[in-house]
């Protein structure tokens, strides 16, 4: 339940005067569904409207307001709205006697007759065009009596629009909505407000819609700065509330089994890195404590997360529980399954792989084995969260590439057990800032160090102009035994075009490199086909694999040595880094060619240089974040950052630590937010719809 103070902000938009289905639809396109959404729609520009005495004072394209007398209306014939492509013309004369016309297309005759009465003087505001030596205003923004509002001059905000909405309309709607703004109690500490010179919440919202100069539009103008801080603070606080609540859930109390671990370490053909050992120790601590483990394991492709996951799974099994690992794609699930099953077999444990393409019979068998507890571990895709699949006692859920699953799906896996411990894994390193912003103080383990014998990939940034040369040089590389990935350009708008590009490249290469086997893989293939083509490449039956970006994160073909990426500038650095991580995985060194298009700009060239100079995924992610900014780093949507109204994470990053600290402090002083300030903060949380956090708070 939202406090009644906030009710006006969340009243239905349709209750507004003159807002019908059409307008509601347009507003929804802009993400505006409530009145608070409406006033959160910030101007992106400003326009100056000048008051002038005669129209000759206006240059072509000027926005002006002036008094003029209506002389006659031309073309007003029928009663119905004109469908004629020709405009209706209204002849006017300004006070100096200068003539001009107003042009109206598809005008409503009633409106015209009411508004433009010959012989009367009107105040007219609009953009002046010099049209065939004539002066004209088409579709004036305002027409009214001479005493009309002073709003018709001066600076006005310009808002992002969508088809079907005009500037005038949205300006009006926002103005209307600003009227009912409640006075809310201050939720920030006074010293913080003073330090930054911020206006009150209400003042900030009012002023943000009345920019006077360009600098008022800046994200660090006091109004916007304050609104962003409000949002960031609310966000940090709600994540902390949710987390502290979750920690109170009783989790699984696992027992560490040294004997089993030692056996496992003996099976491994290598010894663990320092980071792997540290991550395992952190996981052990969580798993053996009574609270619930919620931990994120971050490490580049090839950093060795699988072994860490296996260790955790062994702990679950040794404690009499079961473990499940869910991966986002069939290819990945099979690959994990392949590695883990071999280990499990040697340990004398039962591990099954379950995916959508298993036969009904196979599925039934696995279901039975999981329900009885006969099967200790399972690796799979979404098949793991189907209805009807039950575990005897699932105590550990691992989610690989966690950002590729929705909250719902992650939750569903958890619900297969009784608050199982949770380990999420990601190969997309998340810069600290983003981490804090998107997940609050979620606990993390890092694998920064590369397993021994891994060599840096020789990376070159080359113009696509040299494509021919490069294709020729492949002949030599193939003769020397190289295995090559050829990644085709990312085409955001259309998967079909992307596949077409890959098919074309495939044909060209086939033509040029007779005597070598070439494979093609893309997203429209069935899971079975993808697996077959990957394994043909793994076994060496094909030597070049032409691919769209479907060559999944984590796909492991040990002896692939060369990767060519067309139009590398279209990819995010984190994505390039992941792609590149797919080569040079064995003992041979790898080569990666990043081909950029002619039209790519300086900035994108600079980004590619980062790739050339670094192999540290965390560093690359930071740089990408700095060069490109925010949400894109994590592949947009999943980052959780898209939901901000006011915050521009790149610009407002300096506020993040403060928001975090303030949230931390208030929860320490007043954990249930009962004090006066606590009450004000509750209102803030409601404002930003953190209902989830609120329900926890109310339950407490
Ligand atoms: P990730 O899942 O993090 O991308 P993997 O777990 O698939 O990485 O490991 C990549 C490769 O490195 C695998 O072939 C794995 O056997 C190997 N590996 C893992 N840990 C080590 C280590 N400590 N020393 C040597 N090789 C390792
Ligand atoms: Mg992996």
Ligand 1 atom having least distance to the Cα of 581: 4
From the CB of residue 361, how many other CB atoms can be counted at a distance below 10 Å? 8
Q: How far apart are CA 281 and CA 295, in angstroms?
A: 12
Encode pLDDT of 231-276 as tens digits: 999 988 888 887 777 667 777 889 999 999 999 999 999 999 999 9
Q: Is ligand 1 within 6 A of the CB of residue 427? A: yes
Q: Is ligand 1 within 6 A of the CB of residue 272? A: yes
Query: Which architecture does CATH list for 1-44+159-182?
Result: Orthogonal Bundle (1.10)
Q: Whose CA is nearest to atom 19 of ligand 1?
A: 304
Radius of gyration of the chain (CA): 32
Q: How far apart are CA 257 and CA 239, in angstroms?
A: 34
Q: Is the pTM of this model over 0.85?
A: no
Distant-in-sequence, close-in-space partners of 468: CB < 8 Å, separation ≥ 6: none
Q: Considering every ligand atom, which ligand is closest to the CA of 338?
A: 1
Question: Apex CA 660: angle with CA 656 and CA 665, to 5°?
Answer: 145
Handedness of CA 302, 305, 307, 313 (dihedral sign): negative
Q: Is ligand 1 within 6 A of the CB of residue 308? A: no
Ligand 1 atom having least distance to the Cα of 304: 6
> In terms of DSSP H, where are the helices of 416-564?
432-439, 467-479, 495-512, 527-539
Q: Is ligand 1 within 6 A of the CB of residue 299? A: yes
Distances (CA, A) of 431 to 441, 446, 625: 13, 12, 8
352 Cα–ligand 2 center, Å: 18
Written out in words, the top-level CATH class of the domain with range 47-158 is mainly beta
554 Cα–ligand 1 center, Å: 10
* pLDDT for the residue numbered 250: 75
| Residue given tokens 């999944």 in the structure block | 552
Q: Is ligand 1 within 6 A of the CB of residue 335? A: no
* pLDDT for the residue numbered 662: 95
Q: Is ligand 1 within 6 A of the CB of residue 556? A: yes
Q: How far apart are CA 77 and CA 81, in angstroms?
A: 10
Query: Which architecture does CATH list for 457-614?
Result: 3-Layer(aba) Sandwich (3.40)
| Residue given tokens 């800046």 in the structure block | 218
Q: Is ligand 1 within 6 A of the CB of residue 342? A: no
Q: Is ligand 1 within 6 A of the CB of residue 211? A: no
* pLDDT for the residue numbered 110: 87
Domains 1-44+159-182 and 47-158 share a fold: no
DSSP 8-state symbol, 15: G
* pLDDT for the residue numbered 391: 97
Mean pLDDT by 10 residues, the chain (700 residues): 80 83 90 90 91 90 93 74 75 94 88 91 92 87 79 84 89 90 95 96 96 93 96 87 73 89 94 96 94 88 91 97 94 90 96 94 96 97 94 96 75 89 85 72 85 82 93 89 90 79 92 92 86 90 89 71 92 85 81 90 86 88 71 41 74 87 93 92 84 53
276 Cα–ligand 1 center, Å: 10
* pLDDT for the residue numbered 439: 72
Q: What is the CATH number of domain 258-447?
A: 3.40.50.300
* pLDDT for the residue numbered 81: 60
| Cβ atoms of residues 38 and 174 within 8 Å | yes
Mutation pick for ligand 1 pocket among 271, 306, 560 (CB with most ligand atoms within 8 Å): 306
Burial of 379 (0-12, 13-18, 19+ CB in 10 A): buried
Q: Is ligand 1 within 6 A of the CB of residue 303? A: yes
| Cβ atoms of residues 590 and 561 within 8 Å | yes
Per DSSP bridges, beta strands 142-144 and 121-131 are antiparallel
301 Cα–ligand 2 center, Å: 6
Q: Considering every ligand atom, which ligand is closest to the CA of 269?
A: 1
Delimit the domains of the chain by residue range: 1-44+159-182, 47-158, 258-447, 457-614
DSSP sequence for 50-67? EE-SSGGGPPTT-EEEEE
Q: How far apart are CA 294 and CA 317, in angstroms?
A: 18
Mutation pick for ligand 1 pocket among 264, 379, 451, 579 (CB with most ligand atoms within 8 Å): 451
């Amino acid at each position: 339940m939202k406090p009644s103070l906030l009710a006006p902000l969340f009243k239905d938009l349709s209750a507004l005067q003159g807002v019908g289905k059409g307008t509601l639809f347009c507003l929804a396109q802009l993400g505006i569904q409530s009145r608070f959404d409406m006033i959160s729609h910030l101007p992106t520009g400003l326009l100056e409207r000048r008051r002038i005495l005669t129209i000759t004072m206006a240059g072509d394209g000027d926005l002006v307001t002036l008094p003029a007398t209506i002389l006659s209306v031309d073309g007003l014939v029928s009663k119905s709205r004109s469908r004629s492509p020709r405009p209706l013309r209204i002849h006017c004369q300004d006070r100096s006697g200068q003539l001009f016309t107003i042009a109206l297309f598809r005008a409503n005759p009633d409106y015209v007759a009411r508004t433009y009465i010959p012989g009367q003087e009107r105040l007219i505001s609009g953009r002046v065009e010099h049209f065939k030596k004539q002066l004209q205003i088409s579709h004036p923004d305002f027409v009214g009596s001479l005493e009309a509002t002073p709003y018709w001059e001066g600076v006005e905000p310009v808002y992002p629009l969508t088809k079907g909405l005009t500037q005038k309309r949205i300006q009006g709607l926002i103005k209307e909505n600003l009227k009912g703004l409640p006075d809310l109690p201050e939720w920030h500490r006074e010293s913080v407000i003073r330090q930054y010179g911020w206006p009150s919440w209400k003042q900030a919202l009012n002023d943000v819609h009345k920019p006077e100069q360009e600098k008022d539009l800046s994200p660090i103008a006091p109004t916007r700065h304050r609104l962003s801080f409000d949002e960031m603070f609310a966000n940090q606080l709600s994540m902390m509330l949710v987390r502290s609540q979750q920690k109170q859930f009783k989790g699984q109390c696992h027992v560490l089994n040294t004997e089993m671990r030692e056996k496992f370490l003996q099976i491994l053909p290598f010894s663990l890195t320092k980071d792997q050992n540290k991550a395992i120790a952190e996981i052990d601590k969580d798993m053996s404590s009574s609270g619930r483990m919620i931990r994120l394991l971050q490490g580049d492709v090839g950093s060795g997360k699988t072994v860490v996951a296996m260790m955790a799974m062994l702990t679950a099994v040794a404690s009499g529980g079961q473990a499940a690992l869910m991966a986002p794609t069939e290819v990945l699930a099979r690959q994990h399954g392949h590695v883990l099953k071999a280990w499990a077999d040697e340990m004398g444990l039962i591990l099954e792989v379950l995916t959508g393409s298993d036969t009904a019979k196979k599925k039934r068998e696995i279901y039975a084995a999981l329900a009885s507890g006969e099967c200790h571990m399972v690796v799979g895709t979404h098949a793991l969260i189907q209805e009807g699949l039950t575990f005897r006692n699932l105590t550990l859920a691992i989610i690989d590439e966690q950002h590729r699953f929705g909250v719902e799906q992650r939750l569903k896996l958890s619900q297969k057990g009784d608050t199982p411990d949770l380990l999420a894994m990601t190969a997309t390193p998340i810069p600290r800032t983003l981490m804090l912003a998107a997940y609050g103080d979620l606990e993390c383990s890092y694998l920064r160090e590369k397993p021994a014998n891994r060599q840096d990939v020789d990376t070159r940034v080359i113009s696509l102009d040299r494509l021919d040369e490069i294709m020729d040089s492949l002949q030599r590389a193939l003769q020397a035994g190289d295995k090559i990935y050829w990644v085709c350009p990312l085409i955001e708008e259309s998967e079909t075009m992307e596949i077409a590009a890959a098919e074309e490249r495939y044909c060209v290469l086939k033509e040029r490199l007779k005597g070598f086997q070439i494979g093609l893989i893309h997203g429209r293939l069935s899971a079975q086909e993808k697996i077959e083509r990957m394994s043909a490449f793994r076994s060496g039956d094909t030597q070049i694999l032409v691919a769209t970006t479907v060559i999944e994160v984590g796909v492991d073909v040990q002896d692939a040595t060369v990767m060519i990426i067309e139009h590398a500038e279209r990819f995010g650095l984190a994505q390039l880094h992941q792609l590149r991580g797919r080569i040079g995985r064995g003992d041979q060194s790898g080569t990666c060619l990043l081909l950029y298009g002619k039209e790519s700009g300086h900035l994108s060239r600079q980004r590619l240089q980062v790739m050339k100079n670094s192999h540290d995924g965390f560093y690359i992610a930071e740089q990408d974040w700095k060069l490109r900014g925010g949400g894109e780093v994590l592949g947009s949507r999943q980052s959780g950052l898209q939901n901000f109204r006011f915050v521009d994470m790149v610009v407002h990053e300096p506020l993040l630590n403060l928001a975090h600290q303030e949230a931390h402090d208030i929860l320490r002083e007043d954990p249930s937010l009962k004090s006066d300030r606590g009450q004000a903060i509750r209102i803030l949380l409601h404002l930003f719809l953190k209902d989830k956090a609120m329900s926890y708070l109310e339950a407490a």
